[in-house]
Chain A
Amino acid sequence: MIGAMDGADLRAAPAREPRSPALIDQLLRDRDAIVARIAAGKDLMTITKTMVATIAITMAIVGAALGSYRGGIQIGYAAIKLPLVLIGTAALSAPALTAIGAALGRRSRLTADLALVITALAYGALLLVACTPLILLGRAVDLSYHQMILSTVAMFSVAGIASLRLVTRALSAETGPGRGSAIIGLCVVFALVGGQLAWSLRPYLLRPRTQEVPFLRETEGSLFDAITGAVRSARGIYTRDSAPLGD
């Protein structure tokens, strides 16, 4: 069915409401077409609902894979929290995109911007779910905790850049003022909010020897401190006598 209803068919029959699998397939194969659909304001509710569901399902799978490093209840915890990170990032970033553009004269359209940001994040989520075998491979070959963290950061960085690239392509195709500033503003807000939200809802990965599994860690330090600390630890440079056992 997915193969039979490709992007060209969707463009040829705009009156018919597209089905969710077809939209997801179009997102993977023909992103320009789905961006054009959003720019035209077509099927925004259907697109948004489909992409939110895509994020929820794919990120739950990715979260479960990450949680499997520790196992047990952590699989469920991470599967709940990771979709919240992406959907929360979209909810906090999309108004910034609309507002920055509107201040400089870009046509104000919050619904379309929300659909665009959610779609871009859904694309990143699909890329991440494609990385799930790599996460499981890391577990299978007993990668160390810090190596696993750095691998995860790398995968999420690639997915984040791909998501941002989709948004910038969509905004670059617009005409009129304000889009340049909107792109820069969105990139900054997206990176800061996404990073901090992910940081606030951690842990996703836990050391296998951790005894008590917390749903959320207490707020401490900053994301930047944590990344530099992980790089140092992965290189064998430790500032503590022993690793924490968890909360």
Chain B
Amino acid sequence: MSAISEPLPYYPRGPALALAALGPVAIGAIMALRSETAAPLLAVPAVVFGVVAATSPALYIASAATGTAPPLSAVVRAFGVALGAFGIALAGLLLPAAFLALSSIDTVMTFAAASAAVGAAAFLGLRRLAHELGAAGKSPYPGAAEIKPSLTVSTVFFVWSAATIGIAGRLWWDLASEVLS
């Protein structure tokens, strides 16, 4: 899943997950301010967390079916770390996105800035997830063989990522079309 499999430094999990929960709400608030409707406040977190909740079991099932899955607890932990990474990245991108969105008169700019912030944070979260799963595969079970990076591992992760991004992108686009129309 990732060529790099050394353990990465961790950040406090609680605050990072809190940022992951609040970040999409803040992005929704930016869009709500410009569109003068409250819908994005709920819709943005629903898109982000709904898609992750709906697609994450598929990654474990596909990995396990192809014999490349770390233990379930390690996968759950990897998703937690990746969500935290998403939250931290989104927190850092929130100020620039808010500034770009609110300093322009064009609602398309608001949509572009919000999309870029969420998209970049999601990309970084996916990278972190790939790394964490790769690190977890180093010692999957006591006494079990290492899950080495392979074409199968990469393919499963790539297909799952593409499907997740595709679903989220479609829902995001529908939300934007409704809000900006």
In the complex, chain A residues 77-103 whose Cβ is within 8 Å of any chain B Cβ: 91-93, 95-100, 102-103
What residues of B have a CB within 8 angstroms of the CB of A107 in the complex? 9
8 residue pairs bridging A and B, Cβ less than 8 Å apart: A99-B90, A100-B93, A102-B85, A105-B8, A185-B93, A193-B96, A196-B100, A222-B104
Contacts A177-B4, A196-B104; A100 near B89 (Cβ below 8 A): yes
Secondary structure dominating the interface of B: helix
Give the size of the chain A interface in residues (CB under 8 angstroms).
28
What residues of B have a CB within 8 angstroms of the CB of A193 in the complex? 96, 99-100
Cβ contact within 8 Å between A103 and B89: yes
Give the size of the chain B interface in residues (CB under 8 angstroms).
28
- The reply to whether the CB of B157 lies closer than 8 angstroms to some CB of chain A is no
Cβ contact within 8 Å between A185 and B9: no
The interface bits of chain B over 79-90 (1 if a CB of A lies within 8 angstroms of the residue's CB, else 0) are 000000110111
The interface bits of chain B over 119-151 (1 if a CB of A lies within 8 angstroms of the residue's CB, else 0) are 011001101100100000000000000000000
* B→A interface (CB under 8 Å): 4, 8-9, 11, 85-86, 88-93, 95-96, 99-100, 103-106, 109, 120-121, 124-125, 127-128, 131
What residues of B have a CB within 8 angstroms of the CB of A96 in the complex? 92-93, 95-96
Q: Knowing that A102-B85, A185-B93, A197-B99 are A-B contacts, what are 10 other residue pairs whose CB atoms are under 8 Å apart, sorted by A's residue number?
A: A92-B96, A95-B95, A96-B95, A102-B89, A103-B85, A103-B89, A104-B127, A189-B96, A197-B103, A219-B105
Which single member of A99, A189, A197, A200 contacts B88 (CB below 8 Å)?
A99
Contacts A104-B85, A177-B4; A99 near B103 (Cβ below 8 A): no
The smallest C-beta distance from B56 to any residue of chain A, in angstroms, reads: 18
The smallest C-beta distance from A127 to any residue of chain B, in angstroms, reads: 24
**A103 CA to B104 CA, complexed, in Å:** 29
The interface bits of chain A over 177-214 (1 if a CB of B lies within 8 angstroms of the residue's CB, else 0) are 10001000100010011001100100000000000000
**A186 CA to B20 CA, complexed, in Å:** 21
Contacts A102-B11, A103-B125, A181-B124; A189 near B93 (Cβ below 8 A): yes
The smallest C-beta distance from A110 to any residue of chain B, in angstroms, reads: 9
What residues of A have a CB within 8 angstroms of the CB of B90 in the complex? 99
Instruction: Kindly report which residue of chain A lies nearest to residue B19, judged by CB atoms.
Output: A99
Contacts A96-B93, A192-B100; A104 near B128 (Cβ below 8 A): yes
Cβ contact within 8 Å between B8 and A99: no
The smallest C-beta distance from A230 to any residue of chain B, in angstroms, reads: 19
The smallest C-beta distance from B6 to any residue of chain A, in angstroms, reads: 8
**A105 CA to B88 CA, complexed, in Å:** 11
Cβ contact within 8 Å between B99 and A99: no
Cβ contact within 8 Å between B100 and A98: no
Shortest beta-carbon contacts, A-B, top 7? A99-B92, A105-B8, A103-B85, A103-B89, A103-B124, A96-B92, A95-B92
Which single member of B89, B95, B127 contacts A92 (CB below 8 Å)?
B95
Cβ contact within 8 Å between B96 and A100: no
In the complex, chain A residues 138-185 whose Cβ is within 8 Å of any chain B Cβ: 177, 181, 185
What residues of B have a CB within 8 angstroms of the CB of A97 in the complex? 92
Instruction: Kindly report which residue of chain A lies nearest to residue B85, judged by CB atoms.
Output: A103
Cβ contact within 8 Å between B105 and A220: yes
What residues of A have a CB within 8 angstroms of the CB of B91 in the complex? 95, 99
